[in-house]
Amino acid sequence: IANGTSVEEFILLGFPGTWQSRVFLVVVFALMYTLTVIGNASIIALVWTSSNLHTPMYFFLCNLSFLEIWYTTGSVPKAIGVMLGTSQTISFSVCIFQLFFLLSLGSTECFLLSVMAYDRYLAICYPLRYSSLMSSVLSVRLALSSWLGGFLAISLLAFLTSRLTFCGPDVINHFLCDIDSCVALSCSDTRSVELATFLVSIIVVVASCVVTLVSYMYIISSILRIRSAHGRKKAFSTCSAHLSVVTIWYGSTIFLYVKPSAQNSLDLNKIANVFNTVVTPCLNPFIYTLRNKEVKLHKSANTICIIPLLFSP
C-alpha cells in the first residue's frame, strides 16, 4: 500500500473513439497549444520591451499570460500522450500534483480576473485619480496576493484528496486528474473532499466573480453617463476584451466546481475542461490584442511579432 491506497497508478481514458478521431484531436490540441505558448509569450515579450506599456493593466495581462502558458502546459502535453496511447498511465503522486497544480492556477486566474476588473473600474470611474489609486506597489501586491491566494486555497483540498483510498477500478474517464474523477473512483468516504471542494469554490470562484460583476456594474453605469458616443465607445473598448475572457472562463468554471456534489457527468466535465485548459488560454492572446490599438501601435514600432496580430485586419 502506497500513500494510503492500494492503487499506485491510474489509467487515463482520454477521448475514446477511432484512431482517426483521436489523431484529429491531437492535431487540434497541438495547434492550439502552440498558438497559446507563442501568443502569450509574445505578449509578455512585447510588454517587457515597450516602456509605454509598463502600466498596471499590461502588468496584470503579463501575469495572466504567464499563468496561461503553465496552465495549458500542465494538461495538454499529457492529454496528447493519452490520446496517442503512448502515455496513458499516471502515478498516484503525479495525479495529485497535477490536480493541485491545475486547480491552483485556475484559482489564481479567478483572482487575477477580478483584480483586472477592479483595475478597469478605477481607470474608468476615477480616470483623474487612477495613477495614484493604482500605483505600481499596489499592482505588485495585488498580483502577488492572487498567486499566493490561488495556491493556498487549493492546498487543503489537495491534501484531503491525497488521503482518499482507491481500491479499483483504476481507469479515470478523463484526459487529466481532477476532483470529480478522484471522487468517482474512491472507495472511501468522500464527503469531506466534496464539502471542501464546494466551500473552496464558493470562496474562490463565486467571491471573485461577484467582485468582477460589481466592478462591471459600476463600469457600465459610468460609461452610460458619458455624453459623447465616441467617449462611450472608447471607454467600453478598454474593458470589452477582459469581459469576453471573464464570460468564457467563469461559465465553464462555475459549471465544473460550484455544485454541492462532485458526482457529475464526467463526459460533460471533459468538455468543460477543454474550454478551461485548451480553448481559453488559446483565445486570450487573440482577444486581448486583436482589437487593441496600443498593442498594434507598438507592434509596428518593434521587431517583435505577435502571432494573433498576423490575422488582424
Three cell numbers, residue 6? 492500494
Give residue 238's pLDDT.
65
Cβ-proximal residues to 186 (8 Å cutoff; 6+ apart), any chain: 164, 165, 166, 193
DSSP per-residue codes, 158-209 = HHHHHT----S--EESSSS--HHHHHHH--S--HHHHHHHHHHHIIIIIHHH
- Is residue 70 scored above 90 in pLDDT? yes
Dmax of the chain from CA atoms?
Answer: 70
Query: What cell was used for 207?
Result: 467571491
At 285, is the pLDDT very low, low, confident or very high (cuts 50, 70, 90)? confident
- How does pLDDT run across 201-252, given as a tens digit for each residue? 888 988 898 998 898 888 888 888 877 777 777 767 667 767 777 887 887 7
Q: Which of 147-151, 192-196, 284-288 has the lowest mean pLDDT?
A: 284-288
In whole numbers, what is the pLDDT of the chain averaged over residues?
A: 82
Instruction: Decide which of 292 and 274 is more confident.
Output: 274
- Summarised one tens digit per residue, pLDDT across range 170-184 is 888 888 888 888 888
Q: Give the rounded percent of residues in the chain with a pLDDT score beyond 90.
A: 31
143-164 burial string, b = 16+ CB within 10 Å, else e?
Answer: beebbebbbebbeebbebbbeb
Q: Half-sphere exposure (CA, 13 Å, Cβ side) for 221?
A: 9
The pTM of the full predicted model, rounded to 2 decimals, is: 0.84
Which pLDDT does position 303 carry in this prediction? 38
Q: What is the pLDDT of residues 247-274, one digit of tens each?
A: 878 877 877 776 655 545 667 778 878 8
